[in-house]
Structure 1
Amino acid sequence: MDQAEKTMIDNLHKNTGKTLEEWIGIVKAKNFAKHGEIMKFLKEEHGFTHGFANMVALKARAADAGSVENKDGLIEKQYKGKEHFKPVYDTLLSEIMKFGDDVEVAPKNAYVSLRRKKQFAMLQPATKTRFEIGLNIKGQEATGVLETIDKANAMCSHKINIASQEEITPEVVNWIKTAYEQAG
């Protein structure tokens, strides 16, 4: 369990007076069939915010990445039909692990989150033709291969799109390292 998830679980207990396990029991007793039904119940009946309702719904259904025992299975699933991007992921991860021994690699269902004290990057085979590197770099203008992400709820501030292993240039690695350094 990463620190962000632990903090959220602790805050759930502080805010509601019930543990995550108690909320999971409450939700399971209702026999909801769908994620959205759980979300609606927790928001409308118990005043949950979207984030807390989503976390409880995912945990109750064991549908979150944290509930998966085999993290390598998550990575395999990400590259199903996009196998040509697996060497891109492997090369990037190898370069990133050289930054320091404090890099946390957290596979999710659709991407791999890279954390230090906070998330600094995401690696994702976004489509069959585009591999996306999401980065959190405060106050940085887009330049070179670095693009700004303008979506309000984006998990990253910038991204780099690449199509092949040959596009992993020193510039790409340096941008990832900048994000890593800011996350310390």
Structure 2
Amino acid sequence: MEQNLVDKTGKTLSQWKAILAKQPFKKHGEYMAYLKGECGLTHGFANFITLKFREADAGSADPQQLVTEQYQGKESLKPIYDYLDKYLRSLGDDVDVAPKKAAVSYKVKRQFALVQPSTKTRIDLGLKLNDVPHEGKLETSGPFGTMCTHRVQLNEIADVDEQVLAWIKTAYQQAQ
């Protein structure tokens, strides 16, 4: 999205961040409403800009602490995350792992996977896959919107089967 920002909005991410820095808002929704209403941005670009701007609020948050907080009250899901994280990191030395408040993003040249504990009983694995149909457990992106093209719901470690690992590997290869 960042690559298309200037073409679609007329401003760079740095310019948008400077605009938001002048606003009195505290909440994500307030920034979103401003960007959509006052600046005429689409939901996707408003959300992207807001997320990037608010990352600065997190400062130098400890990545491990962010992951720990994601799984508070969802401890039964942590083994699924640990398994996915180990596999995703093993795909290559070029994998950039970026824990956020609600999810962990995996990138090479672009994001290819997102691991999010969405409920107390389910992790949503978001994948960015080109030309792969939505079928079976490989669903539409759901809560991820434009960040991912597909989602796999995982309730237990056995749900991370060979098919899921193959989809992850394909997403990684397509992102290179």
Normalised to the residue count of structure 2, the TM-score between the two structures is: 0.74
**Cα displacement (A) at 1:125:** 1.2
1:26 maps to 22
8 Å Cα contact 1:24/1:56 also seen in 2: no
Q: Structure 1 regions of 5+ residues with no counterpart?
A: none
Asked if residue 123 in structure 1 is aligned to residue 115 in structure 2, the reply is yes
After superposition, the C-alpha distances for 1:59-94 in whole angstroms (9 at most, x for unaligned) are 77xx43773312222211211110111111111111
**Partner amino acid, structure 1, of 2:158:** E
1:79 maps to which of 58, 71, 78: 71
Q: Structure 2 regions of 5+ residues with no counterpart?
A: none
Taking the aligned partners of 2:138 and 2:96, their CA distance within structure 1 comes to 24
**Partner amino acid, structure 2, of 1:26:** K
Paired residue total:
172
After superposing the two structures, state which structure 1 stretch, 47-56 or 102-111, moved more.
47-56
8 Å Cα contact 2:44/2:146 also seen in 1: no
8 Å Cα contact 1:59/1:67 also seen in 2: no
User: Which ranges of 4 or more aligned residues in structure 1 deviate by more than 6 Å?
Assistant: none
Taking the aligned partners of 2:146 and 2:73, their CA distance within structure 1 comes to 25
1:19-168 matched pairs, under 5 angstroms: 19=15, 22-27=18-23, 31-32=24-25, 34-41=27-34, 63-64=54-55, 67-69=58-60, 70-143=62-135, 146-149=137-140, 153-168=145-160
Bigger-Rg structure (1/2): 1
